[in-house]
């Protein structure tokens, strides 16, 4: 195949990228929209009803709204207010929420603390017992 000087290597590299790009474009033109699976990420969510105070839900012109990354959205009674992985808030209709999310039934809470005196140990043990009772470990 001849010498392998800088010009030849550059030419071969460019040809490969161009060929790969053409294949990619052809595949995209022939295929339909790709399918994706949502990653299993645990989020906090709370169902909103009129009169219930939820962080992020505001009132404007007698309408409940929440300011999302995409702009303000109306909040309707029964909507779930979800806190995303970056701390952002957004509403979700109840039927979509039910199809998309499952409740986390087990929550493992790990509290790590070094106690140096008797009073701190007593407080730590009391806290651990309350958590144990509340979460039924």
Say what percent of the chain tops pLDDT 70: 64
The better pLDDT of the pair 93, 33 is held by 93
- pTM, two decimal places: 0.53
3-state secondary structure of 114: coil
The better pLDDT of the pair 117, 66 is held by 66
In the chain, where do the E strands start and end?
44-47, 57-60, 63-68, 71-74, 80-83, 89-92
């Amino acid at each position: 195949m001849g010498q392998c000087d800088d010009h030849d290597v550059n030419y071969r590299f460019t040809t490969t990228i161009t060929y790969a790009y053409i294949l990619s474009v052809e595949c995209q033109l022939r295929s339909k929209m790709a399918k994706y699976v949502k990653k299993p990420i645990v989020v906090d969510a709370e169902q909103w009803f009129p009169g219930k105070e939820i962080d992020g839900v505001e009132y404007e012109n007698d309408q409940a709204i929440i300011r999302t990354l995409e702009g303000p959205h109306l909040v309707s009674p029964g909507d779930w207010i979800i806190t995303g992985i970056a701390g952002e808030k957004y509403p979700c209709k109840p039927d979509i929420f039910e199809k998309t999310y499952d409740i986390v039934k087990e929550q493992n809470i790990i509290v790590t603390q070094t106690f140096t005196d008797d009073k701190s140990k007593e407080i730590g043990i009391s806290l651990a017992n309350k958590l144990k009772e509340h979460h039924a470990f």
